[in-house]
Every structure is written in structure tokens, then in C-alpha cells.
Amino acid sequence: MRKQIAAANWKMNLTIDKAEALLDDILKENIEPAENGQVVFAVPFPYLMMAAGKLNGKARYAIAAQNCSNKKAGAYTGETSVEILQSIGINYCIVGHSERREYFGEMNQMLAEKVDLCLAQSITPIFCCGEALEVREKEGQNDFVRKQIEDSLYHLSAEQLQKIIIAYEPIWAIGTGRTASTEQAQQMHHFIRSVLAGKWGEEVAGNISILYGGSVKASNAKELFGCADVDGGLVGGASLIAPEFVQIINALKH
Ligand code: 13P
């Protein structure tokens, strides 16, 4: 059965003391996710090693970077390569978050390069896709998301694809408090899975975890994660509040 994942995306929040306290508060709950469960914390770069150290061998917990370079190595001031991430024991990386696409000009082709570099270093990319409000208002969301997946992932083999996590994050639901309805989430997740099935086959598509992101909270997580094709969430704001995120972890399907 595919993994059910609660992933925290802290974005550019928390100073080190608050970051440590937040992780401590969540980890002290000692939540043991089910066999197919996974908890991931995508923390700011300077906290990666501190956060990884706190996991202390907990098999179902992992730390992620929020971004990586599309270049392998070299004179790219301010960038962080997947090789550097791998060398400090990081096994997950968010790729193509809508904030990276929107504010830092990241394009589908560049994201394909990032995905390739991650896979080459055995880092699991959490590949983000999702449409803006004006696209949804014109009912263009399916074509839009299909194109994001085609441009960034279609070159992968079935074996490679199965090492990827997909996060569907409708931009209109991010940080707005406006969550997609369970119908909207399930519809899009089912659509994404059918796109994957069309290219790589039903069995491969059935193995891919597809997370929902966009105003996930303790109060709506259970309902969203209960959808057949929603395999957990990528959580921003609510992941910064320990009791909220603890409940979100506990809302994963078993
Ligand atoms: P919010 O949960 O704050 O809406 O953010 C979602 C997100 O962008 C996670 O990557």
C-alpha cells in the first residue's frame, strides 16, 4: 500500500530556538505512525542538521529541504546542491513549490532537472503542482496540472516515478484559509492518478503518494485525508503549531 504522509513545510518561518522547541513538542508525543505512515519536516536550510539530529533514528520521521539547485555543483553562490543535502543525510526535498515558481521564476524544465538530480542522489522529491485561481475559474485546472506533470516528470522511467511524491497544492488555497472541498481535492487527485496511469500504467500510478496542500488544519485533515486518492498533506501554517500538526499526523489513513 502506498505511503500516507504528513509533511510540514515551515517555509521561511521560526528562529532557531522556536524551531527546536516546535520539533521537541511534536516529537515528545511519540506518535508511532502506521506501517505505511511517514512524517516529514521541511525546515529552513540552516536547521537541517539540527532537525535531522533530533529524529534520532525514528524510522517513520524524516527531514526535507524546501528547495535545491538545478545545478550539480560549482560557482552558484547561494545555491544548495542535492549532493550537499545528501552528504548531510537529507533524504527528501520539496521541488517546484508554487512560491518558488511564482516568486523565483522556476519553470517546468528547471524542475525536471531538479527531480533528476534528486533521484540521482537517492533523495525523494516532493514534486508540487497546482493551479492559480484564474485557471480554476476558467475550469482549466486539469489541463494546467497535466502540463506541469508532462513537462517535469514524463521523461522518467516507471521505476524512477515510483520514487517520487506528488503534492497537489491549488494556489488559491495556500495560506488563504480557503481549503479545497473534499470533492475538489478527490477529483483532482483522481485526475492526477489517471494521468500517471495513462503514462506509466495503473499499478505504478497506484503506488504514488499524492498529498494535498492548501490550508490543511487539524479541523479538516481527517476529512481530506479520508478521500480515496488523498494520501496525506503538505502543510504550511498549521505545521507551525505543535498541537495542530500532531492532530494532522494522527489524521493519516491507516
Ligand atoms: P498553508 O497550509 O499555509 O496553506 O500552506 C500550504 C503550503 O504551501 C504547503 O507547502
Atom 1, ligand 1: which residue's CA is nearest?
236
Active-site option among 99, 106, 169, 244: 169
pLDDT in tens, 40-82: 999 999 999 999 999 988 999 999 999 999 999 999 999 999 9
Beta bridge partners of 37: 4
Q: Are the beta carbons of 43 and 15 closer than 8 angstroms?
A: no
Span 187-193, average pLDDT:
98
Cα 157 to its chain centre, rounded Å, is 20
CATH of the domain at 45: 3.20.20.70
Ligand 1 within 6 A of 66 CB?
A: no
Report pLDDT for 140.
97
C-alpha gyration radius of the chain: 17
Q: What is the mean pLDDT of the chain?
A: 97
Task: State the pLDDT confidence band at 1, using cuts at 50, 70 and 90.
Answer: confident
DSSP labels for 146-194? HHHHHHHHTTS-HHHHTT-EEEE--GGGTTSS-PPPHHHHHHHHHHHHH
Ligand 1 within 6 A of 244 CB?
A: no
Report pLDDT for 178.
87
Atom 7, ligand 1: which residue's CA is nearest?
236
- For the chain, what is the domain count? 1
Return the best residue to mutate from 13, 235, 239, 248 for the ligand 1 pocket (most ligand atoms within 8 A of CB). Answer: 235
Give the Å distance between the CA of 201 and the centre of ligand 1: 30
Closest CA to 144 of 204, 188, 176: 188
Beta bridge partners of 7: 40, 234
Q: Model's pTM, two decimal places?
A: 0.98
Domain containing 23: what range? 4-250
Distance CA 86, CA 174 (A): 29
Alpha-carbon dihedral sign for residues 130, 108, 102, 211: positive
Distance CA 239, CA 250 (A): 13
Closest CA to 240 of 13, 66, 1: 13
Which helix (H) or strand (E) is 211 found in, with range? strand 210-213
Give the Å distance between the CA of 75 and the centre of ligand 1: 32
Ligand 1 within 6 A of 170 CB?
A: no
Task: Verify whether residue 97 is a known catalytic residue.
Answer: yes
Q: How many residues does the chain have?
A: 254
Ligand 1 within 6 A of 178 CB?
A: no
